[in-house]
Structure 1
Amino acid sequence: MSKEPNSNTFKEQTKQYGRQLWELIQNQVQKHSSSEETVPVKYIPPKKTTEHPWLMILLLSVPYLLLVVFIVSFFWDFNNMTADLFGHNFSFEGLLRIVSVSGLIGFLTNWLAITMLFRPTHKRPLLGQGLIPAQKDRIAYRLARAVSEDLINPQIIKQKIHESQAIAKYREKATVYVKNIIDDPEFRASLKVLVVSYVDEMIADPEVRSSIAKKLMEQIDDAIEENSFEKVALRAYSFLKGQEMQDLVESALVKLPTGIEHGLNKMDTFLDELPAKLDEHGSVIEEMVTGLLYKLINQLDVHALVEDNLRQYDEKKLENLIKNASNDQLKYIQYLGAVLGTFGGFIIWEPVASILLLAFIISFTVMADILIQRLKK
């Protein structure tokens, strides 16, 4: 019955000193970490904006201008106005209504198409559901598959680790880091005090000392060959002396802290040689770390990780994610619909003349773009 309390006391005292040792190491790590180089801030690509902000302002005003023209067309719309040009008679009556309606239809259809990408966020009885919310699971699956197959997979991670020689670099940094810690006189002194205090407290406990003495006697007995002279002599001595041998071992244990205190000088030698030993076995350490890291990577399911995270995105968060990356472009598409619709209205009014004019504008724009591009080069 007495063995269980002894064992519990020994374990509790060992845990206590283990916590003290861990606190000592943590203090040294924090002390030497303050001088470590800071991690560089990762470059974040700036959001691209148009080189001509005035153009966006102009496009934003087009739908409102078309709405005003549409309202004006109810009161006046080039009534009975005609003109002759190059032998062709142009009738302007109804032009405002045609142009404004076509432009507004172009704007509204683009606005509706972009809106239907995201809204309604939840399925409605008649309105249905937006394309992206309805296909959220499919989008998550396809995106996760693309990421896991082409962007991030175990083979790519292993290749990058091998090419960057990251394990070797960090192993060298760790060796220097360990050397800085163990070269600190304060750390060495505190470590010695902790070891001596631990041994002293353990040996000072009669129950622990008695348990250690019994364990030593059992190990000595087991180490001697059966039926040997030493075995017979030890058993005879134990039989004749009994408790005296136990007392002898315990007396030797009482002197153990003093012996350890004198022997701790060898700890300095061990600590001095530790960085060199780490460098000597650097290749073995790197192979072990690489092997463990590769096992971890092989167990990493990138596809499931990405897909699960994307599935947890709610519809609003997914909408904001896409809009933050392409909101300006979506606005251009939306308001360009009003401009293209307006051109469509002119084509409805006068097909031949409008198509010729539109072809001229497109050709001039393309040629001007090519010329500017060459001048930049």
Structure 2
Amino acid sequence: MDEPKPDNNQLNNAIEVAKSKTRSQARQLWQIVVKYSKIDALADTSQKSYQAPDRQQEHSSVVLTILSIIPYVLGLTFILSFLWDFNDISATVWGYSLQFEGLLKIVSVSGLIGFFTNWLAITMLFKPAKKRPLLGHGLIPAQKDRIAYRLAQAVSEDLINPEIIKQKINDSNIISIYRKRSTRYIKNIIDDPAFREELKQWVVSYLDEMIADPEIRGALAQRILRQIEDAVHDKSFEKVALKAYSYIKGQEMQHIIEEALADIPTSVESGLDKLDGLLDTLPQKINANSETIENTITTLLYKLINQLDVHKLVEENLREYDEQHISDIIKNATNEQLRYIQYLGAVLGLIGGLVIWEPLLSVIILSLGFLMLLTIDYLLHRRFYQ
């Protein structure tokens, strides 16, 4: 049986053609699957929707509004002090002499200094966003890279690390849940008669397109012929029988094999009813091998998690933010508290001005007021928080 030796170039060309046709047919198969997919079957209807927590209202908007007025009042008081400032006014209380002259200027200047000092300190946290020759650089923008590193370190070590992710996967049993859901999803697709019909048509079309191509058919015939030759290499009788069969047919053995291959699509089409039985048993086979499937998915998922560098991922993403973006993130989360600190500076400065005006009397009054505040806070806490 002296058949022509296979041409490696021809075989390689046939392989490339087969790959191209397979990719095209795979796209068609995917379109069929998508057409009959019921994606709702995989949806997690019990999944919670997460909303941003409400801003902590430690101080009511009314209090904040009142505090915001204080700097303007202090500014007007400072202007008024140049026109009138308790000139030559004094009083005696319980034998204690009080001199009111200059009081407006003292409390207004002290209050404004307290307000602008806090305002400047908070502003210097965020501004300038870009480094300036004389004004310098805001603290947070200047430390952007360090902040990114520290945040990434905190996230990767304490919030999202491979061990925590693995523990959450185990505790949630999520792989088993989605394996069962995927099985139901597959069953919904393959139980559709129209899907089965299109799938059968696709199988026949795929085989027909592959076998109809002369290069592919010739390469398959060569491969089969080589396997036959290897099988009968040491068997004289079988070799003689094959030569005799080829002589009787009046064709080379490769041509005989190619003719047989050409009949494959017709033969497959007549036996495609068995595909229904295979599809019917597919969900049961998946369930029967559920443990193996879940273990395999878990192993692959763990390998992926171990290769995930959370620290690098978070740090690189944060470094890509510009300085203004990082400042805005922090400001948006703390804006109300920062405003409160600014206005509180004005109040504390005003109190400081009173201490400068009359140190002993102011300290006594402030101490009594502070003790009263602590007492009221303690009573309210016991009444409403315990």
Instruction: State the TM bucket, normalised to the shorter chain.
Output: over 0.9
Provide the residue aligned with 1:359 in structure 2.
Answer: 367
Q: Which residue does the alignment assign to 1:148? A: 156
Code of the aligned partner of 1:146: A
Task: Describe the SS at the equivalent of 2:77.
Answer: helix
Name the structure 1 match of 2:238: 230
Tell me the equivalent position of 2:125: 117
Give the Cα separation in 2 of the matches to 1:223 and 1:26: 44
Greater CA drift, 289-298 or 222-231: 222-231
CA spacing shift, 1:117–1:264, aligned 2, 3 Å: same
Please state if 1:170 is matched with 2:166. no
Q: Does 1:42 align with 2:56?
A: no
Q: Alpha carbons of 1:296 and 1:4: their partners in 2 closer, same or farther (altered >3 Å)?
A: closer
2:36 counterpart SS class:
helix
Cα deviation for residue 80 of structure 1 reads: 1.4
Match of 1:33 in 2: 39
**Aligned-pair distance for 1:17?**
1.7
Matched, 1:191 2:176: no
Determine whether 1:201 maps to 2:209.
yes
Task: Give CA-to-partner distance per residue, 1:218-275, whole Å, 9 cap, x none.
Answer: 2222233524532453356557766254443333333322221122122111111111
Identity of aligned residues (%): 54
Alignment partner of 1:277 is 2:260: no
Counterparts of 2:188 and 2:335 in 1: how far apart (Å)? 52
User: What is the distance in 1 between the residues matched to 2:59 and 2:344?
Assistant: 17
**Counterpart position of 1:72:** 80
Deviations 1:131-181 (A, max 9, x none): 111111111111111111111111111111111111111111111111111
Distance (whole Å) between structure 1 residues aligned to residue 52 and residue 246 of structure 2: 78
Go from structure 1 to structure 2 and tell me whether the alpha carbon gap of 1:366 and 1:265 turns closer, same or farther (over 3 Å shift): same
Amino acid in the other structure paired with 1:303: H
Q: For 1:248 and 1:304, how far apart are their aligned partners in 2?
A: 62
1:157 aligns with 2:165: yes
User: Do structure 1's residue 295 and structure 2's residue 303 form an aligned pair?
Assistant: yes
Per the alignment, residue 62 of structure 1 pairs with 70
Shift of 1:77: 1.0
**Per-residue deviation at 1:43?**
2.5
Structure 2 length as normaliser, TM-score? 0.90
Measured after TM superposition, the shift of residue 126 of structure 1 is: 2.4
1:249 aligned partner: 257
1:18-74 deviation per Cα after TM superposition (whole angstroms, max 9, x unaligned): 221121122222xx0146455543232122335532111110010110111111111
Structure 2 SS opposite 1:267? helix
Corresponding residue number in structure 2 for 1:330:
338
Cα distance in structure 1, aligned partners of 2:151 and 2:12: 58
Of 188-197 and 125-134, more deviation after overlay is shown by 125-134
Larger CA deviation: 215-224 vs 267-276: 215-224
Give distance in 1, aligned partners of 2:357 and 2:297: 76
The answer to whether the Cα contact below 8 Å between 2:10 and 2:219 also exists between their aligned partners in 1 is no
- 1:111 offset after TM fit, Å? 0.5
Query: What secondary structure is seen at the aligned counterpart in 1 of 2:52?
Result: coil
User: What secondary structure sits across from 1:89 in the alignment?
Assistant: strand
Aligned partner letter, 2:89: M
Q: Which amino acid aligns with 2:25?
A: Y
Letter in 2 for 1:285: I
Distance 1:228 1:164, change over 3 A: farther
1:129-148 matched pairs, under 5 angstroms: 129-148=137-156
Change in 2 beyond 3 A, CA 1:316/1:207: closer
Instruction: Name which of structure 1's ranges 162-171 and 219-228 shifts more when overlaid on structure 2.
Output: 219-228
- Three-state SS of the structure 2 residue aligned to 1:12 is helix
Query: Once the two structures are superposed, what CA deviation does each residue of 1:91-150 show, in whole Å capped at 9, x if it has no partner?
Result: 111111111111111101100100110111222222221111111111111111111111
The aligned counterpart of 1:371 is: 379
Q: Structure 1 residues 334 and 228, CA, compared in 2 at 3 Å: closer, same or farther?
A: farther
2:320 is the counterpart of 1:312: yes
For 1:273 and 1:78, the matched residues in 2 are separated by: 99
Alignment coverage as a number of residue pairs: 375
Unaligned ranges ≥5, structure 1: none
Cα distance in structure 2, aligned partners of 1:51 and 1:346: 25
1:12 offset after TM fit, Å? Answer: 3.4
- Other structure's SS at 1:217 match: helix
